Structure 1
């Protein structure tokens, strides 16, 4: 599954709890993005997740589900991405929810389709921060330390910097980039322009674009080329 995500430079994230018309969905799926990530912090249900998957399937793009609610674990996705929120004192979001999932579903879990994400949540005003009780008051070095826990101690396939709704501090992102060696570095949060998309793409392996699709689809589409034409920073 690591090989599936390795080529991903640009990903659109779609929220099952938000409306997106058929014309807009066709534009998103025909934009040249590498994959669609389905997920959200609130309002995600089995029904709306399944409906979105059925709408996405005709376009032939890789579709991944970020599992944030056990009740919305819909079969049929190409990949299931499992967040572990590293910067929270609430162990439910590190291991507790995961244990419950294994107890509930056991042998039904498609282990070969799962990838774990080491999430570092960095916007205190976001829904995901409030839900998980994440400590977002981190400086660059503290954030990088969490990233190294995911990359080196836990050897997770993905380190995910989640700014969720606000554009992140690129100096913090740069500091993280300099220490992550093996994990694929994802960035998500607040990208509203080609300039912001290029800044994130220069420092990260994969750029996730979400909210702008629902407010300005054309601006969202422009981020695809911006990301793919940006050369990643070389880190020794």
Structure 2
């Protein structure tokens, strides 16, 4: 299957699974992920992502109808055929490469061939300083909830980004902070990722954010990962398959 003709609508996504091209997932597990009832699959990672392993994972996900987006952190892994291209802009780093530098270089190379209707910028704030994402980007964790709320305003009101992404990257975050950050948003959708390992945590994160992203749990405990999908999405006979608008 190639790119879906109709662009996926991120404003209806509640639950997303994130797959890392640099991590192994067998065909049976991948099928369970793609048929789980999740709203979308995001492909992306902080290290070890190449054109070849990204293209391979896309070709395997394309056996199923679930929307598939590429979170593009390395221009060399810009594989055609995804439904959306999510472009992270790390708001809490002093390293300009992760704000505009790498993006400008990528656009110099690929800007004329991009399908801009499928490009979605993400205002990213990384809160786990020990994570690979923080080490790679030089992200500095916000000091308090007001700092995080201000980043939300930056993404939503100044830069007009459609996604404000709070990334705890493997650790469970402070839902009070997430909930407060959401109050800053007028148009952006709040994505939360990090440390979701139980259905109860998934529900708590969904109560604080608009969309939750479950990644590491797929590789650690697949049955628990499946249980993070909202109950109304799990039954194919009753779910509303309105993935596109």
- Structure 2 Cα separation of the partners of residues 79 and 117 of structure 1: 12
Gapped regions of structure 1 (runs ≥ 5) = 230-236
From 89, 94, 110, the equivalent of 2:94 is: 89
Contact 1:2 1:157 (C-alpha < 8 Å) held by counterparts: no
The equivalent residue for 1:198 is 203
Between stretches 206-215 and 3-12, larger displacement belongs to 3-12
- How far apart are the structure 2 equivalents of 1:105 and 1:124? 32
How many pairs does the alignment contain? 229
How much has 1:177 moved relative to structure 2?
1.4
User: Structure 2-normalised TM-score?
Assistant: 0.90
Q: Identify the structure with the greater helix proportion.
A: 1
Over aligned residues, Cα RMSD in angstroms?
1.6
Determine the structure 1 residue equivalent to 2:108: 103
Contact 1:207 1:227 in 2 (8 A): no
For the 8 Å contact 1:9–1:228, the answer to whether it is kept is no
Q: Does 1:4 align with 2:9?
A: yes
Post-superposition Cα deviations, 1:46-99, rounded to whole Å, max 9, x if no partner, equal: 000000000000111100000011110100000000000000111110100110
Aligned match of 1:233: none
The structure, 1 or 2, with the larger RCO (C-alpha pairs under 8 Å, 6+ apart) is: 2
Gaps of 5+ in 2: 1-5, 235-245
Structure 1 residue 163 displacement after superposition: 0.4
Deviation (angstroms), 1:43: 0.3
Write out aligned runs for 1:45-84 (5 A): 45-84=50-89
Secondary structure of 2:31's counterpart equals helix
Aligned residue runs from structure 1 range 129-148, under 5 A: 129-148=134-153
- What is aligned with 1:29? 34
TM-score, length of structure 1 as denominator length: 0.94
Moved over 4 A (4+): 226-229
Say whether 1:214 aligns with 2:216.
no
The 1:227/1:219 distance shift into structure 2, 3 A limit, reads farther
- 1:150 aligned to 2:155? yes
